[in-house]
Structure 1
Amino acid sequence: MTDNARLLRQHSFVELNARQRARAILDAGSFRELLDPFARMMSPWLAKQGVVPQADDGVVIAKGSIGGLPVVIAAIEGAFQGGSLGEVGGAKIAGALELAAEDNRNGIPTAAVLLLETGGVRLQEANLGLAAIADIHAAIVDLRQYQPVIGVIAGSVGCFGGMSIAAGLCSYIVVTREARLGLNGPQVIEQEAGIEEYDSRNRPFIWSLTGGEQRFASGLADGFSIDDVTSIHRQVDTWLKQGLPEQQRSGQYALFLQRLAQLDTTPQIDPQTVRTLYQGEQP
């Protein structure tokens, strides 16, 4: 197949909303949404602060199968409040993961896929959002004893804040070139360290440090995919059939701390230094 023919057959994953992404990544006909918008599970706090709430609180939970294997999907809608998580949306994800772990204890081998398009905690809900994200972290660690928890970071919001920690706890992560992954967002870093250190408007610079290609090359993501539904589905399917990794990334903290200890923080960091450092070479 020629490059042009392949491009014409490509279906963008990034351009889909959360519900469409969840449906697209599951086997055809297997999508079954839990607590859909008609359940009216929305934040009770946003309206009090003058923010229009969304009927599903920006989180889509669905059960289905991928490659015939049972999975639960949690997809975050980046177009609603920047994909931020509050009390309700966070509880939906944590609850879904907890039920998947319970399924496994009852002999139903249910894995999880997290479609991460999020800036982290919802500022309007502060501590409630932080508590919900902490519950998500605990639920991921519990579930991954039994089955893989797979994170997909496609774009265009990226994955930041407390949910970047959730991504780090995943058994596997796949990213696209459009994706970004980092603990703090560009504007936060610029605010704290200054524009000379990190210009949040310099998109090439930002993607060169926290973009999907860089994160994959640095070993902080396990797969790198083009922005194509079929390619992402295929990668997730491969990992589900492969099962749990020999060692979870979060169990390799000593290795990462050792590499970070070699970093000279005096000059401004550059992409090649980051890549060299994480690949285990002396910068």
Structure 2
Amino acid sequence: MTSRVPARNGQTDWNAMLARVSFIELDARARAVALLDDGTARELCGPFDRIESPWLEPQGVVPESDDGVVVVKGVLGGRPAVVIAVEQAFQGGGIGEVSGAKAAASLSLAVRDNREGTPTVAVLLLETGGVRLQEANLGLATVAEVCAALLELRALQPEVGVIAGTMGCFGGMSIAAGLCSTLIMTREGRLGLNGPEVIESEAGVAEFDASDDALIWAIDGGAQRTGTGLADVLVLDDVTAVRSAVIEAVGRGVPGEHRSRRIREWRARLDAVDPADPPDPADLATVWAHAVPAEGDRR
């Protein structure tokens, strides 16, 4: 599913393009508030609560008083919602003990709300390189808690992930992205388990040239990930477009089968690719389309 560039009489409507408000250029707090209905946003564990990581300052890193994750409760299209936004400007969106705990606890509270009669949906704004290196195992443990909470909540209400900015979503949090009911991306967004720099450092430049921007977006970019079914909706970098896509995704409710449960389908797609002679990124969608098992035989 794609939200297209505004057009009029077959030509790009540049006035509409220039009138857009960039979602990418907002910080995490502004993104979260922009998604919610006007006047309904209420931040939990905000910066004045000074919930900081205790592990950064001893390692020479200045901590941030919300630890780089913003949690905002409110109303989204008339429905109770919690928005969890990762701030990419702090430590590259890295997840540590405190920030991961904030995200996991917020999802667990949404589960509680649902079970107590308040049908609360969750939106994750994912701009992260994965676990923060300074907190290593602590970060990994909290990412696991986030994934567990996502699995519990998605049986009750839809969870929408949004990957908008060029930081993208990598590492353990890319697994969290894959667990969402719906995943929305912009063309500028990126998604992958391992980042280009990590792949290059481990396997060499012949495996992945991390300086080749065209290659990176051809493989990890929003258009490619949506075209190959790893994400669901491709939207413009525009606050109104992103908000509309999120509300539409929430309105579709819990899917009959989540993407992460279609094991046989993904195994067939992997089997269709020869690692010694991989297809060009532009051809991958076609290769995978031919590899999909018959309906009813995807698990």
TM-score band, normalised by the shorter chain? over 0.9
Q: CA deviation at 1:21?
A: 0.4
Whether the aligned pair in 1 keeps the contact of 2:50 and 2:66 (CA below 8 Å) is yes
Q: 1:230 aligns with which of 230, 240, 265?
A: 240
Output the amino acid matched with 1:128: L
Deviation for aligned residue 1:257: 1.0
Structure 2 match to 1:124: 134
Secondary structure of 1:264's counterpart equals coil
Corresponding residue for 2:59?
A: 49
- Structure 2: distance between partners of 1:42 and 1:273: 46
Paired with 2:231 and 2:119, the residues of 1 have a C-alpha distance of 24
Structure 1 position 68 matched with structure 2 position 75: no
Query: What's 2:91 paired with?
Result: 81
The residue identity in structure 2 corresponding to 1:172 is: T
Say which of 151, 154, 170 aligns to 1:141: 151
Deviation at 1:6, TM superposition (A): 1.0
Shift of 1:278: 2.9
1:114 counterpart SS class:
strand
Q: What stretches of structure 2 of length at least 5 have no aligned partner? A: 1-6, 293-299
Tell me the alpha carbon deviations over residues 120-149 of structure 1, each in whole angstroms, 9 at most, x when there is no partner: 101100100000000000000000011001
Within the alignment, does 1:180 sit opposite 2:220 as a pair?
A: no
Q: Provide structure 1 residue ranges, at least 5 long, that are not aligned to the other structure.
A: none
Distance in 2 (CA, whole Å) between partners of 1:280 and 1:31 is 45
Q: CA deviation at 1:272?
A: 2.4
Q: State the partner residue of 1:22.
A: 32
Give the share of equivalent positions with the same residue, in percent: 54
Q: Secondary structure at the match of 1:57?
A: coil
Task: Give the distance between the partners of 2:24 and 2:218, measured in 1 at CA.
Answer: 19
Q: Contact 2:170/2:193 (CA < 8 Å) preserved in 1?
A: yes
Relative distance call for 1:280 and 1:65 in structure 2 (3 A) is farther
Q: Of the candidates 198, 201, 210, which is equivalent to residue 211 of structure 2?
A: 201
Q: Would you say the 8 A contact 1:21–1:75 is kept in 2?
A: yes
1:5 corresponds to which residue?
Answer: 15
Name the CA distance, whole Å, in 1 between partners of 2:260 and 2:287. 18
1:101 corresponds to which of 73, 98, 111: 111
**What root-mean-square deviation, in Å, do the aligned CA atoms of Structure 1 and Structure 2 show?**
1.2
Letter of the 2:206 partner, please give it.
E
> What is the aligned partner in structure 2 of residue 248 from structure 1?
258
1:24 maps to a residue whose letter is A
Determine the C-alpha separation between the residues in 2 that align with 1:79 and 1:270: 33
- The residue identity in structure 2 corresponding to 1:253 is I
SS of residue paired to 1:280: helix
Return the match for 2:176 from 166, 169, 180.
166
Q: Does the 8 A contact of 1:74 with 1:93 survive in 2?
A: yes
Contact 2:268 2:291 in 1 (8 A): no
- The TM-score, its normalising length taken from structure 2, stands at 0.92
Q: Indicate the SS of the match to 2:255.
A: coil
SS at match of 2:207: coil
Instruction: State how many pairs are aligned.
Output: 282
Question: How far has the Cα of 1:253 moved from its partner?
Answer: 1.8
